[in-house]
Amino acid sequence: MTGLGSRGSHWVDQLLKRDDVEIVAYVEPAAQIAEQAIEQFNLDRSGVFDSLDDAVSSVSADFVCDVTPPGVHHVIAQKAFDNGLHLLQEKPLSNDFSVAQQTVAAGRAAGMRHMITQNYRFHPCPRTTRRVLDEGLIGQVGQVDLRWYMNWADIPGSFYVTAPYMLINDMMVHHFDMMRYVLNADPVTVHAITWNHPWSWLKGDSAHVIVFEYPDGMRATHVSLGATVGKRTTYWGDWSINGSRGSITWELDRMWHSHLHRTDEPVNREILPDDVPDQYVAIVDEFFCAIDENRDPECCAEDNLKSLTMVFGAIKSTVEERRVSLDEHINL
């Protein structure tokens, strides 16, 4: 287990709940954070290391769960692959697209399973919506509108507050990945406009409007404010998916199917969520199944490059103030 900060502690808690996981070593270079984890989880100090190198030379393991900052993900990944260890890695895969590509290639060359923990797509709303769209409930989808308002990362001085474009780079990779899953499609262009507000605690832009275009003519809009002091959506956002035979909407974790045109029998009913496992249980289950079956897991690192392409394409679009082809971005 590498990284014992707040997010790392969350993953420690999730893994300790499982009967099929034994955490044989913990890695945290920051002494104060390591001490907090030792106290919180009553850890044996002999199993807590300053570096991954020290940990892998001292214990035998099957995989690494990496919850370090994205700027060092490639370092952790390479050490894991060099030691024949599979990798379950916190998103984003990297804050540099070319480094992300290199990391994916390293995992492929080593023959290791490499999964990114895109937990949002495992929530009941996206799982259920993907199913009913596949079943053709609303016909051909033509427009998707996602709205997200949150008092995001409002802890002064954190990396999320001070770095540029962190709302897109860190948070929106969740949504863009979720869009890819729900729609079972990848966009071809992106046009993003971002800005900030005088009251925002974020140094980078806290608001945006982003439009994605798809090969079949579908459009998806994403409107966000990460520095709201008013009414919030859920972290998954409010969605409106419109097709030729009606719409599916998400409103505060409830889903609705509507078909209200005057020429047809009106429909306005709640869609009950499918019974799916907890997000974090589902992620680890999928990771272990992929290892056992010698296959790529859902959210494998190579597939996750497509979600990152949406992220870095959007950033490129707002910096250069133009619509960007996502093929163009991939070839950078």
Query: What's the rounded Cα separation, in Å, for the pair 141 and 217?
Result: 10
pLDDT at 332: 45
Exposure string of 177-210, with b = 16+ CB inside 10 Å and e = fewer, is bbbbbbbebebebbbbebeeeeebbbebbbbbeb
pLDDT at 331: 56
pLDDT at 158: 75
Q: Which residues of the chain have pLDDT under 50?
A: 332
- Taking all residues of the chain, what is their mean pLDDT, rounded to a whole number? 95
Tens digits of residue pLDDT in 124-138: 999 999 999 999 999
pTM: 0.95
Fold of 120-277+308-330: Dihydrodipicolinate Reductase; domain 2 (3.30.360)
pLDDT at 330: 61
The domain locations on the chain are 6-112, 120-277+308-330
Residue 199, amino acid: W
Find tokens 């700027």 and name the residue: 71
Query: What's the rounded Cα separation, in Å, for the pair 164 and 315?
Result: 10
Fold of 6-112: Rossmann fold (3.40.50)
pLDDT at 255: 98
